[in-house]
Structure 1
Amino acid sequence: MIRILALLLLAPLQAVAFTLDMPANATLVVEEVVGLDSYAMPTAAWTPAGLPVLTGTGEVRSQAWRVTALGLTTLQLLKPLTNQLTEAGFEVLFTCTADACGGFDFRFATPVLPAPAMHVDLGDYRFVATRRTVDGAVELLSLLASRSSSAGFIQIIRVGAADSAPVAAADAPAVCGVAPTPAPDGNLSQSLEDQGRFILTGLVFQTGSAQLGDASVMSLQDLADYLIANPDRTVALVGHTDSVGSLDGNIALSKRRAGSVLERLVTTYDIPRRQLDAQGMGYLSPVATNLTEDGREANRRVEVIITSTQ
């Protein structure tokens, strides 16, 4: 893993203890405390040269929270917490969302508590890095938010001197969602033109099922817009799975899921069938290790690839 490092040995925090007020409908799922360790907090987006980080050494506290509410955006999850941090004297060093962070590369280059405690949708997450200094005492604190179809997830990592104060506690009013919001759009057109492929984000399938959820998906709208603007282009939708189960079963499931996406493009977005094909690779083309839940989640995807030759 390539990282661009800045090292910071943190001074004691005795007089600057701080506890975030989490919404009342948030539940602490897991907390890990390491008395003396280091945390490499990202301070910029992923680049081919690596991930710029600020590394702090001291007590590292990591929490994963689940917020039970439908339709919450990652901005709704983090904005109240970011406001608390700035009011307490923290400086926001860096903030980004999914594709702007670096997508897959950023997600797997920074520490994340394991699923199911912390769920991260590779196409729909938000990150905030903060720092404050009071009388020479320095504290680093990062926030990472993502969501599933039924809940929001927030990870908090703080590094500093040992402190009895919790990182966060559910003392604030409940936060409520609005109508479900699609995952943020990536630069689909540029990725297809430059790389010939793009991972469609925001797709929701029931476990073991090829039925595509009813919610609108921004990446499908982007793909439809691209195909309408380029009527001579043809693409293949390629389903992928994790390595749980047999190869034949996974190939069949991944092809059915790709077929569901094809049908959605035809019936909802009026894309001609002649521009589309659906295939399945099963677990033969992973983008991450299948040894972890996060890796298996990343491998369960549908990609679009250009099949035109001109």
Structure 2
Amino acid sequence: MVSYEKLAYTDFTLPLSALKPSEDPDARDKNNNRKFAPEKKVEAEGALTRIAYVLPPDRSPLEVLRNYQDVIAQKGGELLFECKKEECGGAADRASSGGGNDMSLTMFFFYDSDLKDADFSNGKCALASTITDQRYFTAKVPEDGGDAYVAVQTYTVLDDLYCKELNGRTVAVVQVLEPKARDKKMVVVEAAKMNESLSATGSISLYGIYFDTDKADIKPESDPTLKEIATLLKDDPKMAVLVVGHTDNQGSFDHNVDLSSRRAQAVKAALASKYEIDEKRLTAAGAGMMAPIASNDNDEGRAKNRRVVLVKAN
């Protein structure tokens, strides 16, 4: 084991088909690579663990992949998607590092800048080098409380400079998303606390309004927070607020501004239609990625930046 990271709760997207280039030829990721994404995918939330292993010499990526598939089968799991080499889509010769070309399969999950491993460490070398003979599968395994999702990527490292100790060695990148109930403490902010923050600072960030990835449809579990916003406004009939959507930096600037604006409009519409708040008291706006409150270089920071902010207008 050369790299390990665990997130208590996050969203995770797994490909169920090969990566395809974006229909927009100018769409670029944060490393200036042409963006790729699968046409079919599964989106899940839970506890995410990512581990990278360097295998003993003379073990091929295919052999290692098949061993993991045997374990999945023994646990009653189901193979959802499998690919190899260029068939996986994107750049098949790079792991998580590099820019100016096509995204790689590894970059669909994470970039070298997301890694906590030190430069030139075994972990960084295993996850950010030039590669060959790439293999991959997505699977699900039944567990108490729901399905766990597993992504396994294997490849051979190619490097004769800083990472030459791993040259020719097979690496296995194993990512497991386990079903886990989200900790809802401090997510639903009561109307009184909202009013207190608006009076003291003029704004409050809310994390209890939920949307699917890259969509503006409000999820049902947002109702408790929407109800508290409505209570806030009904308790003070003269109060007007700005409803401002914020995103992380994944995707283009224009796309994120549009997405955050549509989400803010959705919140405004829900407050007006479901809770009978006068639309004249609500102004919706989208700030996109323009006002981060945390680093966008890791999942934890990006989660903090994805929010709805109420700003006191009068």
TM-score relative to the length of structure 1: 0.43
Higher relative contact order (CA 8 A, sep 6+): 1
* Higher fraction of helix: 2
- Give the structure with higher Rg (CA): 2
